[in-house]
Structure 1
Amino acid sequence: MKKYILSLLLLFTFVSNAQIQRVEPPFWWSGMNLSEVQIMFYGKNIAQNDVSVSNGIVIKNIKKTENPNYVFVTIDTKNVATQNFVFTFKNGKKSFTQNYSLKARRDNSKNRKSYDSSDVIYLIMPDRFANGNPNNDSTNNTNEKGNRTNPGGRHGGDIEGIIKNLDYIKELGATALWPTPLCEDNDETYSYHGYGQSDVYKMDSRYGTNEDYVRLSAELHKRGMKNIMDYVTNHWGWKHWMYNDLPTYDWIHQFPGYSQSNYKMTTQFDKNASKIDAKNCMDGWFVPSMPDLNQSNPLVLNYLTQNAIWWIEYADLDGFRVDTYSYNDKEGISKWTKAITDEYPHFNIVGEVWMHNQAQMSYWQKDSKIGAIESYNSYLPSVMDFTLHDAIGNVFNENNQSWDKGMIQVYDNFVNDFLYPNPNNLLVFVENHDTGRFNEIYKNDFKKYQMAMTLIATIRGIPQLYYGSEIGMNGDKGKGDADIRKDFPGGWDGDSNNAFTKQGRTPEQQKFFDFSSKLFTWRKSAAVIHSGKTTHYIPENNVYVYFRYNEQQTVMVVINNNPEKQTIKTKRFNENIQNFKSGKDVITDKSYDLKDEIEIDGKSALILELQ
């Protein structure tokens, strides 16, 4: 009889415990700055229970909402040692338990070094980079199955494929990796880009497991490289598990239901903007399949903050790139950003602020004087230099300089650096996964590629490369996003062209790669580029000259966007040349006498280390 009763009790405990379907975050750490952690328990009618916890852990708050399937329990972990403890849920005589853990942090986790201007970031679309494990191309728990014949479908690239090709990325000269989102995106179609996430605590099974992602970080760190997570605060996907059972009505923005964003980010600070326009920008949905998260709801903001910190600590991350940063509730995203940088003081975060005016972009960088006009501080360390990208998209086809054409556009971009609190922490790029492909715009013109890469490798800021540019990959955005996100050649068994190896590259691919690798490998140790000062000179005859310098070194950069050979009189640059006699080009090793003049071929660039 006793055995029978015991069996019933065990069965009851099992059934009751199954009531908890999710616990998020699934565990936490001892010794965190964010010591009051709000744990979300999800399960059928779980809010009907009283909650207690063992081991003297202090419950600071229990929050229940209009949805009885959720309860949010805030515990205080300050000065609490690493340990396991137990939550008890009780409803009358019925009760069940849930184990929870405080884990030990990595040594000096708080002071982890992030990416900065000494780095070169390599951006990849994981689904299109390399297929290291064909067995996970389609998985039972995801809707869209692998189909490489569909340009907009799942092609099978994964974390294992990234790990297998890290040495290629390192050989290129890149020091940090930015994959587009790897968390689960369970849309039925077009899920490969990952920006419509359906579970933000789990890697997409078609990419691998959470453990695989931790291993990716470890493999990067073995090579002295960094792992940057693409984080999405503004929205989730409509297949997110919460969407059909929201914790609160205002977890997402509802009008009621769906309303499209007007995409006018200027309404966030325009003193003349109507309230409805500002609301529709900030609260409107990015697209119909991406419910817009309400960061002004403290539960949502807490959830996103803890999730971001959880990933940093769990996967040993080195930085974030944040998607559609300026579409968030601006007060909420400011609190989110500050909480992360309070936890990790050296952690870098670059926000996608896709605007076309430096004053407007600078509003979003930490300690902006423009933001301070209305007492706003985003606390965002870095923004993306889209105005430079805009100039690069046409300048190298402008052979003749005029008041606003040719290299003067690039010069004028840097004229406005005074608007930024920290221009050295801007992300500079010629393209990314959402823009036109550089080698498509310029028809694989190698000389124009050399000029563009020379520019982003030697100016202030953090250069970002988009996968495949270094082998001449192109793609027409007019044909759709899939064309600018093609599979990297050699990433799949059976590919006729394997550009990951020297033996497998075509002569044209090798030419692009050799130049890129030499340029960015040189940059790795060029402290004068990482942190030096800049003096630039007004372009003449479509030739742009600037100097990067510190107390130890001076580098002279000459970019001739004129199709004709130009002779540069060096006297004009005495302010920077001073007593230097010659300059050695870092690409060709050729020396140039600085006494009177320098000759430079049409559509070419020089990077001269002055001697």
Structure 2
Amino acid sequence: MKKIYTILSLSVAAIAFSQKPLDKIEPAFWWKGMKNPELQILVYGKDIANNEIELSDGIQIKNIQKVENPNYVFVTINTKEIGVSKFKINIKKGNKNIDSYTYELKQREANSANRSSFTSKDVMYLLMPDRFANGNPSNDNTNDTAEKSDRKNPGGRHGGDIEGIIKNLDYLKEMGVTALWNTPLLEDNEPAYSYHGYAQSDYYKIDPRYGTNEDYKRLAGELHQRDMKLIMDYVTNHWGSQSWLIKDMPSKDWIHYWKDGEKGFKRSNYRMTAQFDTNAAKIDAENCMDGWFDTTMPDMNQSNPLVVNYMAQNAIWWTEYAGLDGLRVDTYSYNDKKGIAEWTKRITDEYPNLNIVGEVWMHDQAQMSYWQKDSKISAIENYNSYLPSVMDFTLHDAIGQVFKENSGWDSGMQRVYDNFANDFLYPNINNILVFAENHDTQRFNQSYPKIEDYRLAMSLILTVRGIPQLYYGSEIGMAGDKGKGDGDIRRDFPGGWKGDSNNAFVKSGRTETQNQYFDFTKKLLNWRKSKEVIHTGKTLHYVPDNNVYVYFRYNDTERVMTIINNNPEAQVLNLKRFSEGLKSFTKGKDIISDKEISLENTLSVPAKTAWIIELNK
């Protein structure tokens, strides 16, 4: 998350209304045939609660819920009982009809409920839309958004958009990427630092500086034509201070408002262990879960059923509307854990195969595994998050140090081995996200400027269990120093803007070094696509010896041996030690160099080299 330094006034203030009593309907439309037929429609307008609401065609309202703020009414209907595709929501004053809205129940796409999702067969590519490519300069600034484009400002908007992503999908396809995760595209109308999108101001609207809702749906379609998947970055823990629902809240308990804080604000203590620590003081738990992530990010109250229902319906709406293939949930472990479990279950009940990966930024495998669905650890307290996937931050932590270190009891490649030694804690080890970096961390190529280390890290990430995630630009050697601010780890992709001197989207536009990075990445990713042994195979690994880590991925039909020599010198391996993994195999082929390798007696591995060897007789 990107920190923003302005203070939100939390008074429930009236905002500009149209002349009509009916100002907003959310969701604006829905679908027939959903597993959960109940739909709660938010009806908003000046003093709307003082009027009567009636549906046309004799349709019965199941429940009308009024709240503290008279500008809201929540209307619940049963879509299964409605035989028409369109009906009117009428606002009445006595016998007089003073406003109306035509509501539509659309037909779902075939097999929508059983859509497939991202799995360990995929390679996920994370990009920041504002920094990837500017495909439509005409939308860099709009009349209804506050912050204007300023590419010279590292923390400002640079103009990247959905059109820029679409125009460069063939680049991702060529590289071997199969799933796209972009940071949030919904409207973020903060006056500064709005480019990252995590302080969202309208949950049903793509930010116009990125494009339109239709553009987002088109992005999904373009990906699907290329057999690629779209993953939405969803934020449940907090909204933006400029959200219309925050400026004029339905009720004071819509957010966590701290009476002893400055204008309701109190920063989270970020101590996520308080969620399950049996020894934790209640005040510490409250400060973590109910504290705000930052000053312009009011913390949502998921113990309020209306809040959870609004978010669940919204996530389902985007999944259905855009044809999403999965969700990534920001700051998952900061949410009210009962509320977020209900939210997650609502979505996966509607889409049983939909994968959702949560950001659980913790540094202990037991604590991270607590959050994965059907965890034996959380079951101790009879809790289930229903979250299918979590992010492997402990592997990320190890990668941040391992390639700088010499061999030791708990240093060097031993860090990686120790991480995998705790795999037994996870209920579904193949469904965790593995990565060397992301949009919030130090750039890998900044920590390790030599391509040899990049090859070691990618050889690891792309051959171990789980779902590998790459961060945009690293495949061409992009660096960035978090110490200089988040803008430096979120640089513009070269070639994404007209006039860029270096266009790294095409081979002819890349430098020799950029092509070395790209060609290695491309070969490894495209090899991985068809390797079921990597997707779902078992792992057999050996305690690192002198900073050389050896492991096998295997199933009933295939074996792959990965050797990572993290030494500045060549190392000679006695292959008898690896007989359990080698079985009767005596040779293999390194998939990067295509070199045939003899696996009898001893093997000399060059300095700072990774070999991924397909074994054969």
TM range (shorter): over 0.9
TM-score by length of 1: 0.96
Cα distance in 1 for partners of 2:110, 2:543 equals 49
1:59 equivalent among 54, 61, 64: 61
| CA displacement 1:285-306 (0-9 Å, x = unmatched) | 0001101111110110100000
What code does the residue aligned with 2:526 have?
T
Aligned to 1:19: 21
Cα distance in 1 for partners of 2:82, 2:458 equals 51
What code does the residue aligned with 2:244 have?
W
1:291 equivalent among 295, 298, 301: 298
Cα distance in 2 for partners of 1:169, 1:279 equals 43
Aligned to 1:9: none
Aligned to 1:45: 47
Aligned to 1:3: none
Cα distance in 2 for partners of 1:36, 1:17 equals 31
Contact 1:265 1:327 in 2 (8 A): yes
Contact 2:445 2:474 in 1 (8 A): yes
Contact 1:30 1:81 in 2 (8 A): no
| CA displacement 1:363-395 (0-9 Å, x = unmatched) | 000000100010010000000000000000010
Aligned to 1:211: 214
Map 1:570-585 to 2 at 5 A. 570-585=575-590
Cα distance in 1 for partners of 2:606, 2:21 equals 73
Shifted more, 72-81 versus 473-482: the winner is 72-81
Cα distance in 2 for partners of 1:561, 1:82 equals 66
Contact 2:180 2:229 in 1 (8 A): yes
Contact 2:220 2:322 in 1 (8 A): yes
What code does the residue aligned with 1:582 have?
K
Map 1:164-243 to 2 at 5 A. 164-243=167-246
Q: Secondary structure at the match of 1:592?
A: strand
| CA displacement 1:509-538 (0-9 Å, x = unmatched) | 000000000011111111110011110011
CA gap of 1:16–1:188, structure 2 versus 1, over 3 A, is: closer
Cα distance in 1 for partners of 2:93, 2:20 equals 15
Q: Does 1:420 align with 2:426?
A: yes
Cα distance in 2 for partners of 1:349, 1:17 equals 41
Q: Does 1:411 align with 2:428?
A: no
Contact 1:82 1:104 in 2 (8 A): no
1:140 equivalent among 140, 143, 147: 143
| CA displacement 1:6-31 (0-9 Å, x = unmatched) | xxxxxxxxx99822111001111000
CA gap of 1:253–1:16, structure 2 versus 1, over 3 A, is: closer
Aligned to 1:464: 469
Contact 1:439 1:469 in 2 (8 A): yes
CA gap of 1:120–1:16, structure 2 versus 1, over 3 A, is: closer
Aligned to 2:533: 528
| CA displacement 1:29-78 (0-9 Å, x = unmatched) | 00001210000011001111111212343311100011110000000012
After TM superposition, give the deviation of residue 82 of structure 1 in Å: 5.8
Contact 1:470 1:513 in 2 (8 A): yes
Cα distance in 2 for partners of 1:585, 1:119 equals 22
Contact 2:149 2:158 in 1 (8 A): yes
Aligned to 1:340: 347
Cα distance in 1 for partners of 2:414, 2:43 equals 58
After TM superposition, give the deviation of residue 94 of structure 1 in Å: 2.8
Shifted more, 409-418 versus 78-87: the winner is 78-87
Contact 1:202 1:210 in 2 (8 A): yes
After TM superposition, give the deviation of residue 267 of structure 1 in Å: 0.3
Q: Which runs of structure 1 show a deviation greater than 4 angstroms over 4 or more consecutive aligned residues?
A: none
Structure 2 gap ranges (5+): 1-16
1:491 equivalent among 491, 496, 500: 496
Cα distance in 1 for partners of 2:197, 2:84 equals 34
Q: Does 1:261 align with 2:262?
A: no
RMSD: 1.1
Cα distance in 2 for partners of 1:93, 1:539 equals 81
Structure 1 gap ranges (5+): 1-14
> Paired residues, what number?
595
Cα distance in 1 for partners of 2:503, 2:415 equals 38
Contact 2:22 2:100 in 1 (8 A): no
Cα distance in 2 for partners of 1:590, 1:407 equals 25
Aligned to 1:10: none
TM-score by length of 2: 0.95
Aligned to 2:567: 562
1:302 equivalent among 302, 309, 312: 309
After TM superposition, give the deviation of residue 342 of structure 1 in Å: 0.4
Q: Does 1:277 align with 2:284?
A: yes
Cα distance in 1 for partners of 2:455, 2:58 equals 64
| CA displacement 1:315-347 (0-9 Å, x = unmatched) | 000000000000000000000000100000000
Q: Secondary structure at the match of 2:208?
A: coil
Cα distance in 1 for partners of 2:84, 2:62 equals 19
Cα distance in 2 for partners of 1:79, 1:514 equals 57
